[in-house]
Chains A and B, each alone.
Chain A
Amino acid sequence: QVQLVQFGAEVKKPGASVKVSCKTSGYTFTSYDIHWVRQATGQGLEWMGWMNPKSGNTGYAQKFQGRLTITRNTFISTAYMELRSLRFEDTAVYYCARRIPCGADCYSFDSWGQGALVTVSS
């Protein structure tokens, strides 16, 4: 079965960077885009960016341009999200999600990781 596994929690100081991993299994890693979504405590879902694991092409929400990098290691079917220059307001649960096609100009997030909590604290 399709699985996206994210490990643990991180505590970082303001200004630091964090790199969150998303290990996939149960499907061909290079066949579907991986997206990253975050959720601050008590808040809604916020889309951050995407990566095509086959080509390495990426796209980022305007809000995160210059601070966010999404990469991958195809040998271990793992995607990574690195966020730099962390701020207190970056404290959130970070999810990876697989995006699949569902028709013409239709894509949905059918599988999600369990999330990784990143806390930014001095």
Chain B
Amino acid sequence: SYVLTQPPSVSVAPGLTARITCGGNNIGSKSVHWYQQKPGQAPVLVVYDDSDRPSGIPGRFSGSNSGNTATLTISRVEAGDEADYYCQVWDSNTDQGVFGGGTKLTVL
């Protein structure tokens, strides 16, 4: 089955840029989606199809995907961005959804 690998944690100071990676075999050939989850809440889609943003998501959130790594970039990080972030793809070989293990973003 397809595996997505994320770093368990990323720390960044307010105002700086956070980058959260998601590794997978030839992930660049897949559409990658990113979800933000705050404690006690359901996940929220923040980036879809590698780099598009749903309405209502700030432009500070962006994404890229190439080769074996997809990246979620959060610019000008704010305290309110502190959350767990998950990448997700659809594995068409098995017709199953796949999530990365999640990355806890800490704003210092």
Contacts and interface: CB of A to CB of B under 8 A. Distances in A.
Most buried by B among A44, A97, A105, A115: A44
Interface residues of B, number: 28
B33 A44 contact: no
A44 B86 contact: yes
Contacts of B84: 44
B49 A95 contact: no
B54 interface: yes
Interface in B78-108: 84, 86, 88, 90, 92, 94-102
B31 interface: yes
B1 A95 contact: no
User: What's the dominant secondary structure at chain A's contact region?
Assistant: strand
Given A35-B97, A62-B1, A108-B33, A114 B49 contact: no
Contact of B31 (A50, A59, A106): A106
A101 B95 CA distance: 15
Contacts of A62: 1, 94, 96
Interface in A65-102: 95, 97, 102
The interface centre, meaning the residue of A62, A106, A115 with most chain B CB atoms within 10 A of its CB, is A106
Nearest to B102: A44
A115 B42 contact: yes
Nearest to B31: A106
Interface residues of A, number: 24
A46 B98 CA distance: 8
A113 interface: yes
Interface in B29-86: 31, 33, 35, 37, 41-45, 48-49, 52, 54, 84, 86
A55 to B, nearest CB: 15
B86 A45 contact: yes
Interface of B: 1, 31, 33, 35, 37, 41-45, 48-49, 52, 54, 84, 86, 88, 90, 92, 94-102
